[in-house]
Amino acid sequence: MTSFPEAARAELANAQLRTNLRRATETIRAKRARAVAELPDWEELREAGRAIKRQVLGNLDSYLVEFESALQAAGGRVHWARDAAEANAVVVEVARRHGADEVVKVKSLTTDEIELNEALAAAGIHALETDFAELILQLDGDWSSHILVPAIHRNRSEIRDLFARTIAPGISSNEPAALAEASRLYLRERFLEARVGVSGANFGIAETGTICVVESEGNGRMCTTLPPVLVSILGIEKLLPRFADLEVFLQLLPRSSTGERMNPYTSLWTGVTDGDGPQELHVVLLDNGRTRVLADTVGRQALHCIRCSACLNVCPVYSRTGGHAYGSIYPGPIGAILTPQLRGIDETASLPFASSLCGACYEVCPVKIDIPQVLLHLRAKVVDADGRSPKRALMHLAAWVFASPRRYVLAQRLAVLFTRPLARAGRLQKLPPPLSAWTRARDLKAPARTTFRTWWAGRR
């Protein structure tokens, strides 16, 4: 995996991307702030969300079994998947058994995480993305850069040009209504012909075996009701104990994600019902590293995430680099703490450092995940894992210098002596390695000629 600084450098060079990102994140941020300010009990709701998620993760084994029994009693079938390969194999088997050479899909990060589309393609089955933004990315061979607005890095004219080349030759308008109509015309027939629908899920209810998907376009409801067979893939952390718990999350999620009071479409289904909706329902309970995350008492907070994306929109790092720099379908602050834990720290060591630790993500998170705390916890793991880390050596050196006033004064004098000749107009613009890592992207104020200690001694 390309390291974050390397990937970010390429993204930062794209001025159009930065403009698109700035506009989009500012708009969503302002909408969210207005929607949240309307609720006098917002902080209590956040606290309730955190408490429910803690309860789930503390008793996950029993909630999973409860969910399985309730769903089977309602006519659904549960599959347990340890990893991506097992989950993908279930979907391929179901699609093959029903002779489907195409499945229609609801936007789902979990299916992106397990690379379901690629697995289906390898089996000769096309996975058609039906969410507007996901369709754009699929048509262009691109991938998501935002949890909620996957094509946030694209503007309307770029989308119009793409549609003209692919599904809507002759389209000339870049108005949202015209673009939506073009995708609607393209998708409608495919919905009606599909034999198998595939979805993720926002929540699964242990008490009743119910699955819940929230969305804005209605494509999700079509995928989950029109095809006679439905496969839903549910990360095991998505469970809620009781149906009544939805009351908390269906307030927290829309206000935090799209800045709306409620989601335009909230679909709930429990097993199968004669003559109504899919007649065969499969639910895949996916681990794929989640039990490993659960074992870490600090890092497990990342499993509370309800994928609202509020932390992305306030993050000063994400709003400049965009999502691709994070090298995962989970970008921004949540990606910086979730991806290293799911994939392993060796492969993703730079991600916990992709943050200024400003704490804005913690302030907006609807389930109060202390993202800065987890970032620091993971940084410590990265440093501990690398016995020869230059950072570790630097910290030891700093501790040694700070432990003695004499060494501290000497270090100050040496810093002034060696850096002043490099200063231009009071700023250091180019330092030798390893300090060049800092000055490659920004300058640094040169140390003052007179230190505080010298000045103080002179006064006395």
Closest-CA residue to 286 (of 114, 105, 97): 114
Tell me how far, at minimum, the Cβ of 209 lies from ligand SF4, in Å. Answer: 24
Q: Which is nearer to ligand SF4, 168 or 371 (CB)?
A: 371
Tell me how far, at minimum, the Cβ of 93 lies from ligand SF4, in Å. Answer: 32
The contacts of residue 183 (CB under 8 Å, 6+ apart) are 132, 135, 163, 167
CA dist 162 and 42 (Å) reads 41
Residues forming contacts to ligand SF4 in the complex (CB under 6 A) are 256, 305-311, 334, 364-367, 369
CA dist 128 and 105 (Å) reads 6
In the chain, count H helices and then E strands.
22, 13
Closest-CA residue to 20 (of 152, 160, 179): 152
Tell me how far, at minimum, the Cβ of 371 lies from ligand SF4, in Å. Answer: 6
> Cα dihedral angle (116, 119, 125, 130), rounded to 10 degrees?
20
Tell me how far, at minimum, the Cβ of 307 lies from ligand SF4, in Å. Answer: 5
Q: Which residues pair with 214 in a beta bridge?
A: 266
CA dist 132 and 183 (Å) reads 7
CA dist 286 and 79 (Å) reads 9
Sign of the dihedral defined by the CA atoms of residues 375, 377, 378, 383, in that order: positive
Strands 196-199, 229-235: pairing is parallel
The contacts of residue 27 (CB under 8 Å, 6+ apart) are none
Q: Which is nearer to ligand SF4, 151 or 302 (CB)?
A: 302
Q: Which residues pair with 199 in a beta bridge?
A: 232
Tell me how far, at minimum, the Cβ of 449 lies from ligand SF4, in Å. Answer: 46
125 and 101 in contact (C-beta within 8 Å)? yes
Q: Which is nearer to ligand SF4, 229 or 234 (CB)?
A: 234
Tell me how far, at minimum, the Cβ of 304 lies from ligand SF4, in Å. Answer: 7
106 and 231 in contact (C-beta within 8 Å)? no
The SS3 assignment for 286 reads: strand
> Cα dihedral angle (313, 316, 322, 328), rounded to 10 degrees?
-90
Tell me how far, at minimum, the Cβ of 276 lies from ligand SF4, in Å. Answer: 33
Strands 210-215, 229-235: pairing is unpaired
Tell me how far, at minimum, the Cβ of 362 lies from ligand SF4, in Å. Answer: 9
> Distance between terminal CA atoms of the chain?
58
Q: Which is nearer to ligand SF4, 110 or 256 (CB)?
A: 256
CB atoms within 10 A of CB 222: 22
Tell me how far, at minimum, the Cβ of 372 lies from ligand SF4, in Å. Answer: 12
Q: Which is nearer to ligand SF4, 255 or 282 (CB)?
A: 255
Q: Which is nearer to ligand SF4, 70 or 371 (CB)?
A: 371
Q: Which is nearer to ligand SF4, 203 or 269 (CB)?
A: 203
Tell me how far, at minimum, the Cβ of 257 lies from ligand SF4, in Å. Answer: 7
Q: Which is nearer to ligand SF4, 132 or 318 (CB)?
A: 318
Q: Which is nearer to ligand SF4, 211 or 337 (CB)?
A: 337
Q: What does DSSP assign to residue 52?
A: H
Q: Which is nearer to ligand SF4, 131 or 237 (CB)?
A: 237
